[in-house]
Structure 1
Amino acid sequence: MKVTVSSYNHKWPMLFEEEAEKIRSIFKDELIDIHHIGSTSVPGLQAKPIIDMMPVLKEIAEADRLAGEMEKLGYEALGKYGLPGRRYFRKGKEKRTHHVHMYDLSGQDEIDRHVAVRDYLMSHPEEALRYGNLKQQLAESYPRDIEAYMNGKDQFVKNLERKAMKWRE
């Protein structure tokens, strides 16, 4: 998969809302909240053009029970995908459009971390600019190596998460 980082697209919030409505129609009363997370949730931030979503369920077992409904929307159900307590779905095969990271309240630390980073970047545009520039440089350096791209931003993201959680306190 080619690593592409795009300028901010003002359609991303609308694309999130459209998909969130579909997910709400599946999970109904089992859904506590649904957050737009990741770089596409931060106005002005360069990002891989994939909408990251984080539905919060009353019980994570509902994600397993209703995985077939998500598949009808074009999602691939990948289970925990390396993170205990999460259920991960992705849409778009080779041309990804959405990633869905589902948690229940037992995953509150993960929920808080994602929301804190989003809110921190929204409140610190200079940090968002640095992050966007790093991502653009990495995408240009590693256009066909998603692993190298991810590794290249790993330390920056870890520092960003620490700052965001401290800022949130």
Structure 2
Amino acid sequence: MPKPDRVHYSDADIEASWVHGAPVLNSTVTMAEYDPAWPAAYEREAARIRSLLGAAVLLLEHVGSTSVPGLCAKPIVDILLVLPDSSDEDGYLPVLEAAGYRLVIREPEDEHRAFKGPDTDVNLHVYSPDSAEIGRYLTFRDHLRTHHADRELYARTKRELAGRTWKYIQHYADAKNEVVDEIMARAAPVRPLN
């Protein structure tokens, strides 16, 4: 099965994508056992985002490991936000910034933007509707929610990798690609926007 169009980020790639400089980790990754409060944190943020952006929100989903009951995770809630055009920052950036969200990553090649939350530890990922990443996020999440063996495989891999020292958190994320690809090969694709 061919691998997805993903490569490991170089230090230069990481540094270029961070708006105000990439934070250097030079440490292990903090991993927490599943916290049943994570879905409530997502719902609180989702309500705030919907109130700020209204009809511009095409899709808003809790994704990442904190969205999978029973899965260990970095204690940061990942949120997927799909807007009509993520490259049109004038249409949403001022509103989010006024509410306290901080733009931290800008990746123009796939029109990805990432924000940190104002008062909750969240990563808000913004994409346009045609991004292949949307389906990947949802497919992976939904598969892990319903396939115990793959959820455990992913958890074991994450724990092992989290114990290593990484210069950037992105290096840890890249190191998970092999097991993610293996699991994705078994997952039924989700088509979020038709």
TM-score by length of 2: 0.74
The sequence identity of aligned pairs, in percent, is 31
Q: Find out whether 1:32 has 2:53 as its counterpart.
A: no
User: 1:163 is matched with which residue?
Assistant: 186
For residues 53-108 of structure 1, give each alpha carbon's deviation from its aligned partner in whole angstroms, at most 9, with x where no partner exists: 0112233355442212222333221453365222221237xx9811111122222x
In structure 1, stretches of 5+ residues that fail to align are none
Which runs of structure 2 are paired with 1:50-65 in the superposition (5 Å)?
50-61=76-87, 63-65=89-91
Q: Find out whether 1:105 has 2:129 as its counterpart.
A: yes
Q: Find out whether 1:84 has 2:84 as its counterpart.
A: no
Q: Find out whether 1:48 has 2:74 as its counterpart.
A: yes
Which secondary structure does the structure 2 equivalent of 1:149 belong to? helix
Structure 1 CA distance for aligned equivalents of residues 109 and 87 of structure 2: 15
User: 2:5 is matched with which residue?
Assistant: none
- 2:182 partner letter: N
Asked whether the equivalents of residues 135 and 189 of structure 2 are also in contact (C-alpha less than 8 Å), the reply is: no
* Root-mean-square deviation over aligned CA pairs: 2.5
Structure 2 CA distance for aligned equivalents of residues 96 and 158 of structure 1: 30
How far did residue 118 of structure 1 move? Answer: 0.3
Which secondary structure does the structure 1 equivalent of 2:58 belong to? strand
Q: Say how many residue pairs are matched.
A: 164
TM-score by length of 1: 0.84
Asked whether the equivalents of residues 30 and 62 of structure 1 are also in contact (C-alpha less than 8 Å), the reply is: no
Structure 2 CA distance for aligned equivalents of residues 85 and 26 of structure 1: 21
